Amino acid sequence: MRQTDNWGWKARIGQFIVSSEAVPEAEWWAMVPEGISVHAARVKASAPWAQWTADRSAVTLSEDLERGARQFSGMSLQAAVVGHSSSSIVGGAGWDRAVVDALSPLLAPGTTVTTNGLDCQAALTALDVGRPFLVFPAWFAQATLEKGVAYFDEHGFRPSGHMRFDPGPGWRDMPPEDLYPQGMGFDQDVEALYAQVRAACPAEADGVLIVGTGFRCVSILETLEQDLELPVVSANQASLWNCMRLAGVRDRVSGYGRLLRL
């Protein structure tokens, strides 16, 4: 009997992800339907992964991003995503489209490029969410958090509120920028995240967006939606959903939020 080999006979999707993160691939493989394969290129650069030129007319790709794109070019991908929420947020208005323009010529014809920022916007729009409650990881510094709120506001959404995850004893006294290097990326408490989001979500919110591709959360999306009676979107879920659609795949996935059932 033939066993599955995870071959991407429906679509192959490329992810540009943080070099030290395990969460994006793990969450994608948990959600991805049969017939789609996921391939990662790792990036060590600081956010944003492409720097604006002096006149902000274009961006210069980081060395890792450019190298990954050239490697992806021979893999017959249908879609590729810059899977880094922080880059979209710190890059600001216009950055996502500028990166798509810079990366597209490096990839094979037929490969559609997107970013996590574009994916999250598309997901919120598809779910008719205009006043999302934004949930940020504990390792987002205050300046990044503020830019995150501003990013969604300037792209036509009106956040109903926001919170930064409280990582609990042993972590909360560390500066946010020290949490990931000290190992919090591999010590994430999704049950505590569930409880905090459920308690903090304001009544005026019409949806929830959990920001950060390294922020482990897809296992609680369905439960949060049932309890809050609102759509709940996560960064990795949004990118998988959008990449599938860009690749022409319309499979519906159960158990990971209503977005993947659209």
Question: Helices (DSSP H) in 34-187: which residue ranges?
Answer: 63-72, 85-91, 95-103, 116-126, 142-154, 176-179
Question: Does residue 131 share a domain with residue 79?
Answer: no
Q: Per-residue pLDDT tens for 24-80?
A: 999 999 999 999 999 999 999 999 999 999 999 999 999 999 999 999 999 999 999
C-alpha of 121 from chain center: 11
At 55, which CATH number?
A: 3.40.50.12500
Residue 2 lies in a domain: no
Residue 202, preceding peptide bond in cis (omega within 30° of 0): no
Residue with tokens 């994430």, as numbered in its chain: 188
pTM for this entry: 0.97
Q: Which residue type occupies 194?
A: Y
Is residue 2 pLDDT above 80, yes or no?
no
Q: Tell me which H or E stretch contains 136.
A: strand 132-136
Mean pLDDT of the chain: 97
Same domain? For 89 and 154 the reply is no
Residues 96 and 172 in one domain: no
Q: Residue 4 domain-assigned?
A: no
What is the predicted pLDDT for the residue at 4?
87
Residue tagged 């030290």 (tokens): 20
> Residue 43: beta bridge partners?
18
The CATH number of the domain where 170 resides is what? 3.40.50.1860
Task: Examine the domain organization and report whether 124 and 77 are in the same domain.
Answer: no
Mind listing the pLDDT tens digit for each residue in 178-213?
999 999 999 999 999 999 999 999 999 999 999 999
Percent of the chain with pLDDT over 90: 97
> What average pLDDT score do residues 13-21 get?
97
Q: Give me the number of domains the chain comprises.
A: 2
Residues 191 and 247 in one domain: no
pLDDT band at 170 (very low <50, low <70, confident <90, very high): confident
Show the domain range for 207: 120-234
